[in-house]
Structure 1
């Protein structure tokens, strides 16, 4: 059960990027997102009803905090950003990787400052390798011509 969540995240993230890259460039990206959110809302409602343990939607609303609307806004920005990323020509093999590396480094810093997480030698080495990888991915050697 421990690995199930990461398997779900991996599978859905790969699908997410394939779909984001495949969206028509001739449609306003916000119309695409509107349709995505309608389907997501219906799916979320169905999943809520299937997993509900007796508490209704109305009574559950009292437990919502600031993180829910902030998550919604960040999802819109994330999805719009990736649609633009692909529309401007980023490779599906590079854009998410650059994003993931930078976000991972930022979240290590946030974890240290906001959540009192520990920065061990493994994390320092991991961050260093990520940053080296980022440089390697974006490095374009200059070819000498004769």
Structure 2
């Protein structure tokens, strides 16, 4: 599998995700999220067995990471539900949220994982922040 394919999955799924979030007429996010997580659970179970995966419970560290991932995904999805219902445009809400996450992750990468902030990355963050500002102003 080329490195491009997983990124393409993320991009396509991200577009579908945000369009579905914005287009949903649901008054409450909870039934919509229950359906979404039910579908995700079903696909994960099918993939687990279809790919010959090991169905044993993972190590405690991985269970905690999975729990954190699930709670974070839930927070993102519920948050975007309320962001879009409060009137944020599709074109700017995601850009501003992701730029904020990117900036925090850049700092986290430096402080926690010993990554380096190169001049090119710093310039990229600055350009992205400028672009997000222009998008937010409409």
TM-score, structure 1 length as denominator? 0.86
Q: Which has the larger radius of gyration?
A: 1
User: 1:40 Cα deviation (Å)?
Assistant: 0.8
User: How many residues get paired?
Assistant: 136
Q: In the alignment, which of 88, 95, 98 is matched to residue 97 of structure 1?
A: 95
Residue in 1 that maps onto 2:30:
30
Task: Flag as ranges the 4+ runs of structure 1 deviating above 6 A.
Answer: none
Residue in 2 that maps onto 1:143:
none
- CA distance, structure 1, for counterparts of residue 58 and residue 121 of structure 2: 38
Mapping 1:1-146, distance limit 5 Å: 1-26=2-27, 28-53=28-53, 55=54, 57=55, 59-62=56-59, 64-139=62-137
Q: Higher relative contact order at CA 8 Å, sep ≥6: structure 1 or structure 2?
A: 1
RMSD: 1.5
**Any conservation in 1 of the 2:26–2:32 contact (CA below 8 Å)?**
no
- CA distance, structure 2, for counterparts of residue 75 and residue 130 of structure 1: 24
TM-score, structure 2 length as denominator? 0.91
